[in-house]
A and B are shown apart, each in its own frame.
Chain A
Amino acid sequence: MTKNQFIELVKSEQNSLRGFLLALCCGNRDEADEIAQETLIKAYLSVSSYSDRGRFRSWVFKIAYNTFLNHRSAARTYESLEEGKLLAGPYSADASYVHEELYLALGTLPPKERSAITLHYLTGYSIKEIAAISDSTEDAVKKQLSRGRDKLKNILQK
């Protein structure tokens, strides 16, 4: 794949990738974009291993998922919405940051649950696809989704 072909694919997928990472980073756009750039450079460097033609998005999401888990933002989990509001304050002033409650609620979930929930509800991936992206079993994804969903509901209902 040439650089231009790669860029064409990125053009069509960058919105969903950035949206996914923005949710994972709880609305922190700078961090999300930093991870997105790192993801795409990693993808470009390993483009020769991209054999699953036509499934570019899943392949890039898998790299994004692993890059996120290795990033400092994955290590940050809020104990509560209040703590999230306190800690996220300085960078939440982004103009597009209009879904603060949801992002902060996501921030209280452990990274793997946050990823499963985001992949399922934001990008519409099935359990099978999420299992492939996160290199885990379908049962594990079901548990992550169930736990994450319960926590999210409890937090948002408060």
Chain B
Amino acid sequence: MTPDKDIHTLFDSAKSEFEDNEVFLQTLIRSLDKVEYIKQMQDRQIRRYRHTVIYALVAGVCAGTFAMVTIGNIPSDFLQSLSENANLLQVPFLEPRTVLNMAVSLFIGASVFWIARNVQEIRQTLGR
């Protein structure tokens, strides 16, 4: 018998039969169930983020459109009331139109920031 056959024989006799295969399988199934649960949670979270991004985008577009359409046609009595409020706040140097522009800009800025933050989170989640 060659030495190679010797090793073959040795390994052949060392082939193990596992009596606890069922226990091993049950442990695996429990682990896979946990994996499935985590995967489902992650998928749900990604879906939620995607919806949030869509809502934020729609809100941003609507706000932008609204600002573009209305900012040139603001009723003068509304501007007057803004002016009075500005005086009450002791910021007379701010024109009412400037205040409105700032408010709209802040709103759009916040929307863009919100979208960017959500996109970042989605990328982090997908990069797992």
Contacts and interface: CB of A to CB of B under 8 A. Distances in A.
Given A149-B4, A152-B7, A96 B25 contact: no
A15 B7 contact: no
Given A41-B31, A45-B35, A122 B14 contact: yes
Given A10-B28, A96-B16, A153-B3, A122 B21 contact: no
A70 interface: no
A15 B10 CA distance: 18
19 contacts: A7-B25, A14-B21, A14-B24, A14-B25, A18-B16, A18-B24, A19-B15, A33-B24, A37-B27, A37-B28, A37-B31, A41-B28, A41-B32, A96-B18, A99-B10, A99-B14, A102-B11, A102-B14, A121-B11
Interface of B: 3-4, 6-8, 10-11, 13-18, 21, 24-25, 27-29, 31-32, 35-36
Interface of A: 3, 6-7, 10-11, 14-15, 18-19, 22-23, 33, 36-37, 40-41, 44-45, 96, 99, 102-103, 117-118, 121-122, 149, 152-153, 156
